[in-house]
Amino acid sequence: MFHKEGLNIILSTFVITAILIIALDYFEVKNALPIKIFLIIMLGLVLQFFRNPKITVNKNENHILSAVDGKVVIIEEVFEPEFFKEKKLQVSVFMSPLNVHVTRYPMSGDIIFSKYHPGAYLVAWHPKSSTKNERTTIVLKNKVFGEILYRQIAGAIARRIVNYAKVGDLAEQGKDAGFIKFGSRVDFFLPIGTKLNVKLNQKVKGGITVIATKD
């Protein structure tokens, strides 16, 4: 199963690959086999990047779930300058091109803020990527955790962030909230004192891994 955001790219890549392989045979190009293998590998990489496997969401109103697949690369208290304008607990998850890049709502609640920012394309693990790169900022609010912010950040390869969150809508935990194409990061900004359930360098799964809990 593939994500809808990748269907056009998948179709284009398949058609181009097929045309090039047919052309190699038609013109009887010497040593064409390595080229064909390369083309097929590239098609395979595109297919795996846009995969959207079915999951069983670990729904729980007392949990904040990871919004994406990846690895936890930052856990620290920082000043969040865009929405809260105060210190928050930041948890960042880096996604490699091999990860599933679907973004899922980390908790259920009201969408009270959603904003797109054009920007640069620093590598996603760069300290300034959270405020300098192309990104979207979304804030959810519910009675259990109050307000939490998550930010989709484009990486050095990513060139388009898709965000489905609209102010006034109701987010459902684990549901599809967007997509980041070709490498990226997601930052979570949680209330200071939030009980975390993850550690640095831990691998996480979107809609499944519990990032934080409420006693």
Could you report the per-residue pLDDT of 13-50, keeping only the tens digit for each?
999 999 999 999 988 888 999 999 999 999 988 888 78
Total domains, the chain: 2
Q: Looking at the domain assignment, is residue 54 inside a domain?
A: no
100 found inside a domain: yes
Residues 40 and 77 in one domain: no
Tell me the catalytic residues: 184
| 70 & 16 share domain | no
Q: Work out the number of other CB atoms within 10 angstroms of the CB of residue 156.
A: 17
Q: What is the pLDDT of residues 111-132, one digit of tens each?
A: 999 999 987 766 655 565 566 7
Q: Give 141-180 pLDDT, tens digit per residue.
A: 999 999 999 999 987 665 578 899 999 999 999 999 999 8
Does residue 75 share a domain with residue 9? no
Q: What is the domain range of residue 200?
A: 63-213
- CA-nearest of 51, 163, 135 to 97 is 51
In-domain check, residue 57? no
Print burial letters for 81-111: b (CB count within 10 Å at least 16), e (below 16): ebbeeeebbbbbbbbeeebbbbbbbbbbbeb
Residues 26 and 105 in one domain: no
pTM for this one? 0.87
